[in-house]
Structures are given as structure tokens and as C-alpha cells.
Amino acid sequence: MSNQLGRVEDLPADYYQSLVSMNTLPLWPALRSVLPYDIPARRTQPVMWRYSDIRPNLLRAGELAPIEKAERRVLVLCNPGLGLQNMQATASIYIGMQLILPGETAPNHRHTPSAVRFVIEGQGGFTVVSGEKLPMEKGDLILTPPGLWHEHGHAGKGPVIWLDALDLPLIYGIDASYCIEGKSQAVDQAQGKCNAEFRQGGVIPYRSLDSSSTPYPLLRFPWREVRQSLLALAGVTAKGELVHLAYVNPETGRECLPTLGFSAIMLRPGEETRLRKRSASAVIHGVEGAGIATIDHVAHAFGEADTIAVPTHAEVVLSNASGKEPACLFMVDDAPLHRKLGIYEVFD
């Protein structure tokens, strides 16, 4: 019975128009489109953005858009299934690639969306968050949590490029997205402070047991240390099991931002592995090596710095193209949001 719901065309035209005139609509003709059986009506498409395509256009943006005119010089990775104008990689995840050139400063501001920076290339870039200067090295993850002041600068040579990931579609969708500009921050924290305090998993400053001064105690996750941890985990992980590390708040052990999750994956030489099918959407970014990501039975050959959108409820198989070297991936997902909403599911 519920598979044969009435249509708009079945209603008297004057009745339907009267509903529309009062800013109302009947639910039943659209019920299956918003509440389908078994699997969501997914608009997010599996899409791959090749860094070799994006980088030349991003460098040209450096010529066309002075930082004073751009504020943040970014090319947004837009999923065609969601409409390019909506600037969404998945329904809840925004991804952009940002360029800063030597001597430039992306001005200080704070905003309601949660954001991170994952460094792709270049040396000499930095982000200042709440008075701490955080150097940007390839593969580093830097948090700019909601409400915290942050600005970017470049004291080196050549371009610095990073991947931005935000929950902007979510925050914008609930009419809560805005930012506030501020004057440049004074760097009043010792450089490397947060990494010195939380250098090793399982060991934290003793004062954290009594109270934490901030909900975001660790702002920078250096790739060189994450990679070492991946290699160590790979050495004790059985063949066929995924080598997968989560970036977490070191004081709580939970996700480091409210709505987005971040993790690192290592595919050992010649390895093929299937990710668990989940309710969450994700974006996968190549850090080292090359391979194939098969999403809902469609293969996407990826290389370093390529980025792939993964819809909710997708079947994902990852394989390393090399039989000699590992391949490393960075993943953003909206699993923390699903957990907080009580809808997170793992299907196998």
C-alpha cells in the first residue's frame, strides 16, 4: 500500500493551489523521496578531483586574485550531484584547496563552522590559532575549531597549498554560518607548546586530570609522527585488517572536532582492503603513493594529493598500486555528527 502513494496529479487542481497559496504542501506525494526504504536517496556522487588538474588553476588564481581581494584564495571541490553552486563535497562536508604565496597573510578571523587544514605542499607556511604559531609541513593536520581566532602566513619561498575541510554545509544549512574579523594576533604562546604537552599517546599534562583550559588542547598533528604511528601499527596488524588511526582529543580520547572526524590509513605494499560500510559520508585524500578506490563498484585510480568523495552507505575497497611501498591516505568523515544525532550505523 505504501509503495503506491497518491500523486499531486491525483488531487483537484484548486485544492493543491489553495495549499500552495498558504505555504503548505501535502506530504504523501513526496514521502518516498524524503523517506525512502532501505537506503537514503543519495545526491552525493562518488567524484575524484585530480590535483594535477587543480594545481595549475590554483597557481593562476595567485596571479588573478591578490590576497587583499580574496581573503582566502581557495578553489572549492564541488560535487555535481549536490549542485556546483552549493559548494559541497558531500552533503555535510566542504572541501577546498587554498594557496598562500610568500609574504602574504590571510587575515585573522573566527567563524562558526569547524575547520581543519591538511598541508599538501610547500615550506614556510604557518597558521596562528589562539596565539600559538603552528608551522605547516606536508601532511600536517591543523585544527581551527569553531570560534577560535586564526590567521595564515607564509615566511618561506614558493607556494604553500593545503586542503581545507569544514562542516560549512551543515552550519550554513541551519542559518548559523558567519565570521568576525579581528586584528592580527600576538603570538604569546611558546611555539610547539601543544605538541610538547601532548607528544605521546597515553601521556598528558597532569593538570588535565583536574581541569582543561580548552576543549581543543591539541591543534597540530605532525604528519611525520602520524606516519611513524601508522608504520608501527602496520607491524602488529594482521594481514587483511585495516591499518587505520583516528585523530582524537588527547584529553578525552574522542573526536577532536564536534561534527567532523579525521583519520589516517596505510595500505601496505600490494594490499587491498574493504572499508566497513557505514552511514557516514567521507572524503579521502591521497598523501603518499597511488592506488585504486572502488566506490559502489566504480574504480577511481588515485595518486598523491588526489581527493575522492564517498557517499553515505557506500561500499569502498582500497588497493595499493605498489608492491614495494606503502600508500597513505587522509580521511575526513561526518561520523561524529551521525553519532551525536543517534543515527550512526555500521552495516558489516
Within this chain, do residues 71 and 98 fall inside the same structural domain, yes or no?
Answer: yes
Report if residue 285 sits inside a domain. yes
Within this chain, do residues 209 and 241 fall inside the same structural domain, yes or no?
Answer: yes
Query: What grid cell was written down for 182?
Result: 579581528
Report if residue 130 sits inside a domain. yes
pTM of the model as a whole: 0.95
Report if residue 180 sits inside a domain. yes
Q: Rg of the Cα trace of the chain?
A: 22
Q: How many domains does the chain have?
A: 2
Report if residue 43 sits inside a domain. no
Within this chain, do residues 75 and 186 fall inside the same structural domain, yes or no?
Answer: yes
The predicted structure's pLDDT at residue 210? 84
Span 113-160, pLDDT tens digits: 999 999 999 999 999 999 999 999 999 999 999 999 999 999 999 999
Within this chain, do residues 212 and 284 fall inside the same structural domain, yes or no?
Answer: yes
Within this chain, do residues 219 and 109 fall inside the same structural domain, yes or no?
Answer: yes
> Distance between CA atoms of 20 and 14, rounded to whole angstroms?
10
The whole-number average pLDDT for the span 105-110 is 97
> Distance between CA atoms of 145 and 112, rounded to whole angstroms?
8
The whole-number average pLDDT for the span 189-216 is 88
Within this chain, do residues 25 and 124 fall inside the same structural domain, yes or no?
Answer: no
Domain of 9 in residue numbering reads as 1-37
The predicted structure's pLDDT at residue 69? 94
Report if residue 346 sits inside a domain. no
Strand-pair category, 179-181 with 282-288 = unpaired
Report if residue 181 sits inside a domain. yes
Whether the per-residue pLDDT at 1 is higher than 70: the answer is no
What's the pLDDT band for 212 if we cut at 50, 70, 90? low
Within this chain, do residues 169 and 273 fall inside the same structural domain, yes or no?
Answer: yes
- Read off the CATH number of the domain in which 310 is found: 2.60.120.10
Within this chain, do residues 149 and 245 fall inside the same structural domain, yes or no?
Answer: yes
The predicted structure's pLDDT at residue 333? 98
